[in-house]
Amino acid sequence: MFDGGMTMCFHTVNCPQILGNISKNRSRSRTKLNPCFAVKVCSILLQSDESGNLSKSKKISSSYSAQVKPQAQNSLLSQANTVGIIGGVSVLSTLIFLEKLVWWSSRNGEESVPFVVCSDPSIDGALASQASIHSSFDETAQNEANHEAIVRNLRHKRVFLEQSGASCIVMPCYISNAWHEQISEGCSLPFFHIGECVAKELKEAKLKPHGTGSNVRIGVLAATETIAAASYRDQLGNQGFEVVLPDKATMEHILIPAIESLNKRDTEGAQNLLRIAIQVLLIRAVNVVILASDELQNILPREDPLLKKCMDPMDALARSTIKWAKTGKQGMQKNTC
């Protein structure tokens, strides 16, 4: 969601990675998310050989080269709080996360946190197929070969970001976080898990259970139950929460039709069905409903009262990333928020 313009010097060479440092030019009077602002991204494009090693860089912005003093070979940014971002299933979702990261980290007059982005549209289709709203758990399991190829691809991008000067890694993608453990294997940097960031924020909120003697219940709505369970059940459970997923009838007759209505540009139909899906979980005594899919974001208008009971996981991921970058925790080595 962008109310203003973004001026970007993005180009491509022989590899899909896009890397940049950001400078801001905004009004001091900006007081809320999404007002008009302008951001200029000066990118450095790298070529990689077949083994994935970076071979040479091409200067896109002359002013940028003067700012960069590499720490080591192949390092693009020298700041100790540089955030490495593995792009999401769509470029748009990555840009939305970047807007949160830039605006929230700079709204007090500070410079935004430095970042490096690796976005590869070529795997969008493969990732999307893993979370098809018509895919069952068994159908997803049969796609093991494709799954392994995706994990290898994303792990390669993680290594690329480590070599590029990043000091932590994030994946603003609801789908790829389902394989966070495999992708982060062997990572020497803090690698934030979206589910862990959500669980930590909910724990800090000190929620009270609606039922006597029960745990706090958190509802999760996603395009598929498989993705939701993989990304949130264990992380929330570790913090003492009970995860509540929609039952089969709710998925088949309410949530999936809501997404299908959206795809047919029937906004009103999608809104009404999503409201019902949220209410079904609220009736089951959940405190918060996590909207864990790109498709479910921005269906409801911002003033809809039901959104007060909902949470966008990307908000938690952005806040955790900014907190890490601002509080000097660059020495962390574990994959935690």
- Asked whether 13 and 57 are in contact (CB, 8 A), the reply is no
- Residue 161 backbone phi and psi in degrees, to 5: -70, -40
Q: Tell me the CATH number at 192.
A: 3.40.50.1860
pLDDT at 63 over 60: no
| Whether 150 contacts 123, CB under 8 Å | yes
**Predicted confidence band at 36 (pLDDT cuts at 50, 70, 90)?**
very low
Q: Is 22 inside a domain boundary? A: no
Give per-residue pLDDT as tens, 256-313: 999 999 999 999 999 999 999 999 999 999 999 999 988 898 899 999 999 999 999 9
**Backbone angles phi and psi of 41, in degrees to 5:** -110, 120
Strand order in the sheet with 310-311: 242-244, 217-221, 288-291, 310-311
**Does a structural domain hold residue 104?**
yes
The average pLDDT across 80-95 equals 89
Q: Which of 36, 102, 16, 123 is nearest to 318 (CA)?
A: 102
**Residue-wise pLDDT tens digits, 152-179:** 999 999 999 999 999 999 999 988 888 9
- Whether residue 220 is contained in a domain is answered as yes
- Tokens of residue 135, six digits: 């895919």
CA distance 124 to 110: 34
In a domain, 269, yes or no: yes
Residues 312, 301: Cα–Cα separation, whole Å: 14
Report pLDDT for 30. 36
Tens-digit pLDDT profile for residues 212-224? 768 999 999 987 7
Q: Could you tell me if residue 270 is inside a domain?
A: yes
| pLDDT number for residue 128 | 60
Mark residue 240 as left, alpha or beta (left: phi above 0; alpha: psi -120 to 50; beta: remaining): left
Which pTM was predicted?
A: 0.76
pLDDT at 130: 57
Q: How many domains is the chain partitioned into structurally?
A: 1
In a domain? residue 176? yes
Assigned domain for 46 exists:
no
Q: How far apart are CA 88 and CA 82, in angstroms?
A: 18
User: Which structural domain, as residue segments, surrounds residue 89?
Assistant: 83-331
Give the C-alpha separation, 228 to 198, whole Å. Answer: 13
Structural domain includes residue 181? yes
